[in-house]
A and B are shown apart, each in its own frame.
Chain A
Amino acid sequence: MTTIEIDHTSRWFGNVVAVNDVSMTVGQGVTGLLGPNGAGKSTLINMMAGFLAPSTGTVTLDGRPIWRNEAVYKEIGIVPEREGMYDFLTGREFVVANAELQGLGDAAAQKALATVEMEYAQDRKISTYSKGMRQRVKMASALVHEPSVLLLDEPFNGMDPRQRMQLMALLRRMGAEGRSVLFSSHILEEVEQLASHIEVIVAGRHAASGDFRKIRRLMTDRPHRYLVRSSDDRALAAALIADPSTAGIEVDLGEQALRIQAVDFGRFTELLPKVARDHGIRLLTVSPSDESLESVFSYLVAA
């Protein structure tokens, strides 16, 4: 079993801190690296992939440093996010070249192409491929040497649902075979469906770690905020505050609206229309004011 160990690692670019004192262990099975865009996921993956030196701390593969150590690539396979990939080659030529660079031959390349089910288009130029096909050929290039660690940066970006399912099935299989698979994503549902273990990164910090049930609970139990306008704001406020699902209500005179903080998300969403109807109040605006991913994640940091 191969393990990547990140120990009190930080990385900054000039005076911007991209990764801030993160410690985590990536072991057997599928790990999802979850966080909003710009949270530092790519920086972290680039350090695990040996493309970036940690500013402080260490990133090791079974105890050996990854930075400036080409030998680790015998055991690591990398699927980068960027699209640049020798478009003038055919899929087969590209994967064969990757196999040769690993000291392997055509047989390994052919096997990898079969694993990602790209044999049917292997003799077409990469420049003619769809995004999903490119992603699969990238996968094949990372799998030629059957690595024990697989790192994928936002692998589902731009894929259609069917391609997504296929890749998920493939990654699940890789994890079940005993490999350490780590992929990054900013979409909770993706991570939840695939990862047995989740690491959450927000603003460069390690915000949470655990299985998806724990993370899910952290995310749905947070207080939700709504902006509500109605035909009678004060009557609505009085009726809502009587219910325990509402934690606080503010009358925003500038906005001519109510700012409501709900604690029990499920119950509040049923309560609001019911209360309005019972009191003959018309709801004009109901908008969640903090549904952006960043604010969802920020609750995790506080948790």
Chain B
Amino acid sequence: MYDPTVARLTYRALLGRRRAAILFVLPALLVVIAVAVRAFAGADDQVASDVLGGFAIATMVPLIGVIAGTGAIGPEIDDGSIVYLLAKPVKRPTIIFTKLIVAIAVTMVFSALPTLIAGLILNGNGQQIAVAYTIAALVASIAYSSLFLLLGTVSRHAVVFGLVYALVWEALFGTLVPGARTLSVQQWSLAVAEKVGGAGAITSDVGLPVATVLLVAVTVAATWYAGQKLRTLKLAGEE
């Protein structure tokens, strides 16, 4: 199910492109904000939760997910180099699964790790807030990666759609409109964080059982469908 050669090519493609700069900029920004907030406001559980929930989970994690998820396959389909993977006796679902693992790993490293660092800076993990949001980021990394990998497989405009989803749906509707929150990766991951954090420190609109089912369902369905799409992929630029 996992092909190390596909993984190596994907890592190098992901981290070697200019787009990868965003992978470094956003986490750096989070840490800078954390340092500034801590310096001006001191250690405060509510402020820590606001920063991690409002910027890290609502904005940074989905954006990193878009870059890593679509970037793991989209550019290869665009420039046609995916041919060299497809013209091999390697099962197409294996290619997708491997790329998913890479996208998840990259998203986790560039979103969960900075979230933990920022959390520790903000309030030294008081009320388990840093750890809770880190776990939320880890969980969300998996779901976002699979969703955006699918998007990268089916659409040539994956980055645009991904950004619209991440910024409009997750960051705006997911925060403001109650109904939309049930169908938001952000809220599902917060449901997990809610159980980890101290009482009342983190709240989610979705119960843990529903969130877990939806997280698993979305991840599995998106990955399966991406594998199917790759089996019948029409290469762009033909006649």
Query: Residues of A at under 8 Å CB distance from B?
Result: 13, 18, 38, 40, 42-43, 46, 49-53, 68, 70-71, 73-74, 76-78, 80, 82-86, 88-89, 97-98, 100-103, 141
Given contacts A50-B87, A84-B83, A102-B89, 14 further A-B contacts (CB under 8 A): A43-B238, A51-B87, A52-B235, A70-B90, A73-B87, A76-B87, A78-B87, A82-B83, A82-B237, A86-B13, A86-B84, A97-B8, A98-B88, A101-B84
Q: Assess A68 versus B231: contact at CB under 8 Å? Given A38-B239, A98-B84.
A: yes
Interface centre among A73, A83, A100, A101 (most CB of B within 10 A): A101
Tell me which residues across on chain A come within 8 A of B85, comparing CB atoms: 101
Report which of B5, B79, B92, B231 forms a contact with A101, defined as CB distance below 8 A.
B5
Given A68-B232, A86-B81, A88-B16 in contact, is the A101-B88 Cβ separation under 8 Å? yes
| Whole-angstrom distance between the Cβ of A17 and the nearest chain B Cβ | 11
With both beta carbons as reference points, the residue of chain B lying nearest to A46 in the complex is identified as: B238
In the bound complex, residues from chain A placing their C-beta under 8 Å from that of B90 are 70, 101
Known: A42-B238, A82-B237. A103 touches B89 (CB 8 A): yes
A74 touches B89 (CB 8 A): yes
- Give, as a whole number of angstroms, the nearest-CB distance from A181 to chain B: 16
Could you say which residues of chain A place their CB within 8 Å of the CB of B12?
86, 88-89
Which residues does chain A contribute within 8 Å of B5, judged by CB atoms?
97, 100-101
Contact of A46 among B16, B81, B84, B235 (CB under 8 A): B235
List the B side residues contacting A51 at CB < 8 Å: 83, 86-87, 233-235
> Does B101 touch A at the CB level, under 8 Å?
no
**Do A40 and B239 have beta carbons less than 8 Å apart?**
yes
Interface positions, chain B 66-120, Cβ under 8 Å from A, are 76, 78-81, 83-92
Interface size class of B (residues with CB under 8 A): 20 to 34
Shortest Cβ distance from residue B197 to the other chain A in the assembled complex, whole angstroms:
42
For A68, the chain B residues whose CB sits under 8 A away are 231-232
Cβ–Cβ contact B88 & A73, under 8 A: yes
B residues at A contact (CB < 8 Å) = 3-6, 8-9, 12-13, 16, 76, 78-81, 83-92, 231-235, 237-239
Asked if residues A84 and B91 are in contact (CB atoms below 8 Å), the reply is no
- 27 A-B pairs, CB-CB below 8 angstroms? A38-B239, A42-B239, A43-B238, A46-B238, A51-B87, A51-B234, A73-B88, A77-B87, A82-B83, A82-B235, A82-B237, A83-B80, A84-B83, A85-B84, A86-B9, A86-B12, A86-B13, A86-B84, A88-B12, A88-B13, A89-B9, A89-B12, A97-B5, A97-B8, A100-B4, A101-B84, A101-B90
Output the nearest chain A residue to B16 by Cβ-Cβ distance: A88
State in angstroms the CA–CA spacing of A97 and B3 once bound together. Answer: 11
The 5 A-B residue pairs with the shortest CB-CB distance, nearest first, are A84-B79, A82-B80, A84-B80, A84-B81, A101-B88
Q: Which residue in chain B gives the minimum CB-CB distance to A88?
A: B16
CB <8 Å contact, A78 and B9: no
Centre residue among B80, B86, B89 by max chain A CB count within 10 A: B89
In the complex where A43-B238, A82-B83, A82-B237 touch, is A97 in contact with B9 (Cβ < 8 A)? yes
CA distance A135 to B239 in the complex (A): 20
Interface pair B89/A43, CB less than 8 Å apart: no
A72 nearest in chain B by CB position: B89
Given A70-B92, A101-B5, residue A49 in contact with residue B13 (CB < 8 A): no
Which residue of chain B has its CB nearest to the CB of A147? Answer: B87
How distant is the Cα of A49 from the Cα of B87 in the complex, in angstroms?
Answer: 8
